[in-house]
């Protein structure tokens, strides 16, 4: 694994990250995705077992000095504190260790089995892997505007996702608590600035391309890979945005609980806004966000990638 290439999937929230991650994982040359909040042992001890589930920063069951998250190495690379080889070594090492809750498997085998279960729900055979690429999945956030993002696109194959911005806004309003709306939307707009700053990335238009599978298939030659039958079958199904999350995923339950916490009147208003948006009409609840999108000069980059706004 240490000699493998690395693919970076770097995305704003609620733009189809899961959809594209599964598309990439469907190819036999791409290893199971490594999420940004997974942890590693700083001492790189062989066969190390991480505390808990080996993920996240919210619990106090580990010492950040000894078990930092992968994202810390990613940010170190962007700051120039480390080189690409160091970050690649961290990703390769993560595959070889395990966590207390899954210690009968190493991370690679546990997440490979998990991926098999996800694809089984879509009735897609999971072919044996011949891994040439490691896959890192990270979300773009406001703090990345302070980093040298050119280091990223000049060093690794980079895939980013975009989606009609007002549909993303609706998802944020529906799936996040009201007290976090403003911070999440500000972060989303900043993430778009990150994404649109790249000139070499493959920009995957997750919603816009649902009717044009050949555009989705273009991701494989961008990575130097040929289209495999398992990936072709996944693309042919084209699970819709917000419908790619299978019953195996904990996020499905979490999102459902948050949506149920909102007042029924709010859910009804958001549903009405979505219906109007599908008919190219702007609901009053979305008008302030559309104005901010225009003021931030984000309309032209979307139009450059084929989106049309006829409000």
Taking only the tens place, the pLDDT of each residue in 243-288 is 444 444 444 444 545 667 889 999 999 999 999 999 999 999 999 9
Give me the pLDDT at residue 1, please: 43
Question: 165 and 294 in contact (C-beta within 8 Å)?
Answer: no
Is the separation of the CB atoms in 191 and 140 below 8 Å? yes
- CA–chain centroid gap for 260, Å, is 24
111: left (phi over 0), alpha (psi -120 to 50) or beta: alpha
Give yes or no for residue 144 having a pLDDT over 90: yes
- The string of pLDDT tens digits covering residues 9-26 is 999 999 999 999 999 999
Average pLDDT over residues 24-41: 96
Give the residue-averaged pLDDT of 223-241.
Answer: 86
pLDDT score, position 58: 58
Tell me what the mean pLDDT of segment 229-249 comes to: 69
Residues 189-215: tens digit of each pLDDT: 999 999 999 999 999 999 999 999 999
User: Which CATH number describes the domain made up of 5-304?
Assistant: 3.40.50
The pLDDT value given to residue 254: 46
| Distance separating alpha carbons of residues 225 and 292, to the nearest angstrom | 39
> Where are the chain's structural domains?
5-304
Which neighbouring-strand residues pair with 30? 133
Q: How confident is the model at residue 61 (pLDDT cuts 50, 70, 90)?
A: low
pTM score of the predicted model: 0.91
For residue 194, what pLDDT is reported? 97
Question: What pLDDT score does 253 carry?
Answer: 44
| Digit-coded pLDDT (tens) for 69-106 | 999 999 999 999 888 899 999 999 999 999 999 888 99
Residue 88 has φ and ψ, to the nearest 5°, of: -65, -40
């Amino acid at each position: 694994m240490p000699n493998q290439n690395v693919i970076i999937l770097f995305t704003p929230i609620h733009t189809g990250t899961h959809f594209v991650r599964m598309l990439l994982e469907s190819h036999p040359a791409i290893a199971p995705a490594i999420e940004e909040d997974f942890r590693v042992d700083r001492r790189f001890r062989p066969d190390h077992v991480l505390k808990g589930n080996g993920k996240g920063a919210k619990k106090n069951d580990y010492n950040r000095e000894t078990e930092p998250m992968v994202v810390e190495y990613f940010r170190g690379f962007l700051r120039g504190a480390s080189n690409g080889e160091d970050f690649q070594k961290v990703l390769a090492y993560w595959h070889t260790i395990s966590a207390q809750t899954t210690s009968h498997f190493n991370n690679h085998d546990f997440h490979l089995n998990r991926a098999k279960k996800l694809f089984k729900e879509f009735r897609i055979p999971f072919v044996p892997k011949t891994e040439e690429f490691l896959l890192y999945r990270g979300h773009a956030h406001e703090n990345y505007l302070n980093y040298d993002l050119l280091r990223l696109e000049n060093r690794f194959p980079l895939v980013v996702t975009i989606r009609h911005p007002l549909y993303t806004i609706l998802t944020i309003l529906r799936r996040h608590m009201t007290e976090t709306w403003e911070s999440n939307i500000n972060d989303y707009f900043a993430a778009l600035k990150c994404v649109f700053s790249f000139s070499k990335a493959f920009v995957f238009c997750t919603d816009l391309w649902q009717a044009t599978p050949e555009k989705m298939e273009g991701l494989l030659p961008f990575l130097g890979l040929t289209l495999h039958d398992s990936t072709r079958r996944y693309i042919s199904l084209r699970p819709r945005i917000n419908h790619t999350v299978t019953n195996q995923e904990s996020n499905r339950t979490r999102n459902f609980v948050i949506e149920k916490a909102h007042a029924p009147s709010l859910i009804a208003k958001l549903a009405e806004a979505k219906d109007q948006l599908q008919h190219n009409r702007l609901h009053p609840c979305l008008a302030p966000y559309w104005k901010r999108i225009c003021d931030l000069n984000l309309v032209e980059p979307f139009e450059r990638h084929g989106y049309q706004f006829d409000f």
